[in-house]
Amino acid sequence: MKHLHINQRSYQLPASPTVIVCIDGCEQEYINQAVQAGVAPFFASLLKKGAVLSGDCVMPSFTNPNNLSIVTGTPPSVHGICGNYFYDTEQDAEVLMNDARYLRAPTVLAAMAEQGLKVAVVTAKDKLRALLGNGLSGICFSAEHADKACMEVNGIDQLLTRVGLPLPSVYSADLSEFVFAAGTMLMRSERPDLMYLSTTDYVQHKHAPGTDEANAFYAMMDRYLGELDAMGAVIAITADHGMNAKTDALGRPQVAFLQDVLDAQLGANSARVLLPITDPYVVHHGALGSYATVYLKNGTAQQAVVDALRGIPEVEEVLDRATAAARFELPPDRIGDLVVLAHRLAVLGTSASKHDLSGLTVPLRSHGGLSEQAVPLLFNRPLKDIPARRLRNFDVLQLALNHLPVPAASAAPQQHAALI
């Protein structure tokens, strides 16, 4: 069996078409509720024929760091992507972290393609496409810009015709459905050796587990996953992060505006608060998440800032750079002087005047903190020799490629987490 060695890990080359699915914002209870409602037969079948595990995502529990951890098999301290947004000291500017020049490690996807394998990547939002497709010779496109896909840039064209769906709105469940529809189309027409599908968490930000809307969303995914399963694909499913309500008992957002607090207590030029959840798509969460970084300014005493932040009821932890980098495996040069975490039911903002909450038509749900770390690790085949250690979402590729037994029918099903 041939192996690929990359980022200090070894991967067997896929013997069967292998599909890695990252369900954005997939709090495990969403799958539980869909299965219990009887609308997700594929997910329900995994308990008998596959493996049902649980793992932790990387911190911060945001989209970009976790997708890049999954496709590199490494934490952010290695691949360098520590948020959707960060302060670039070289530019002296706050910028989106979606440029491949910020990536410090090669992806398994690109390395597999270099071995001559057929690789395809489909992501919901275009913010991830350049990062996931960095160095990749293969198919790579976003549902958001499917109408613009061309052979030269994306390795495929005429996507709307091939998929048979109209271009979806970026703020809709349709964006994720396009990802799955495109994935099944590619499996039928291109039969990739390795395919990566990444969705959007629009539905999870708006609807709690067990609601009609959430169950319908997971039923949609279940149908497409069942099609991929019927085509003989090995399917491995995880998430970039979970999701929680961020409200009080009356459904009102619980927000701590850190910049306002620091400005009031220490002066307007004492510190800069940055929110790594920030991306071009903030309507459904108002750029509010449970993780923030703080940069000290003008010689401000760090302890004074720490004391001010720890006095905020919504704040759970305040960590200095070295402690946060070591504990969460983060690149220390990209996280500021302090890292701030909110408790499970709260989010962090900068200044109240800078957050438009008019788009929050339902009680706020978001992520970014420790309470959104638990994610599913699901497989449509049983696994062998599962490592006896803390599993992470970025173990998913190695588990799918290196831990399949022979033949699947003779192996006992595994349940290492109460997910279904």
**DSSP H/E element including 140:** strand 139-142
Mean pLDDT of 48-70: 97
Query: How many CB atoms lie under 10 A from the CB of residue 266?
Result: 18
Band (pLDDT 50/70/90 cuts) for residue 420 is very low
Q: Say if residues 68 and 131 touch (Cβ distance below 8 Å).
A: yes
Q: Could you give the CA distance from residue 235 to residue 256 in angstroms, rounded to a whole number? A: 40
Q: Per-residue pLDDT for 384 more than 90?
A: yes
Mean pLDDT of 34-44: 98
The DSSP code for 14 is P
2 burial (CB, 10 Å; 0-12 / 13-18 / 19+) is: exposed
Instruction: Put residue 336 in one of left, alpha, beta given phi > 0 → left and psi -120 to 50 → alpha.
Output: left
Closest CA to 354 of 268, 307, 288, 271: 288
DSSP string for residues in 148-170: G--HHHHS---HHHHHTSPPPPS
Q: Per-residue pLDDT for 285 more than 60?
A: no
The gap from C-alpha 123 to its chain's centroid, in whole angstroms, comes to 11
What are the pLDDT digits (tens) for 64-90? 999 999 999 999 999 999 998 888 888
Q: Could you give the CA distance from residue 359 to residue 161 in angstroms, rounded to a whole number? A: 32
Query: 287-323 burial, b if ≥16 CB within 10 A, otherwise e?
Result: bbbbbbbbbbbeebeeeebbebbeebebbbbbbebee
What are the pLDDT digits (tens) for 345-363? 999 999 998 887 776 667 8
Strands (E), 57-127: 85-88, 93-96, 119-123
Give the Å distances, CA to CA, from 30 to 2, 200, 337, 370.
37, 14, 36, 18
Q: Could you give the CA distance from residue 100 to residue 197 in angstroms, rounded to a whole number? A: 19
Q: What's the whole-model pTM score?
A: 0.93
Strand partners, 349: 257
Strands (E), 23-107: 51-56, 85-88, 93-96
What are the pLDDT digits (tens) for 286-316? 689 999 999 999 889 999 999 999 999 999 9
Closest CA to 55 of 343, 376, 361, 378: 376
Mean pLDDT of 261-267: 96
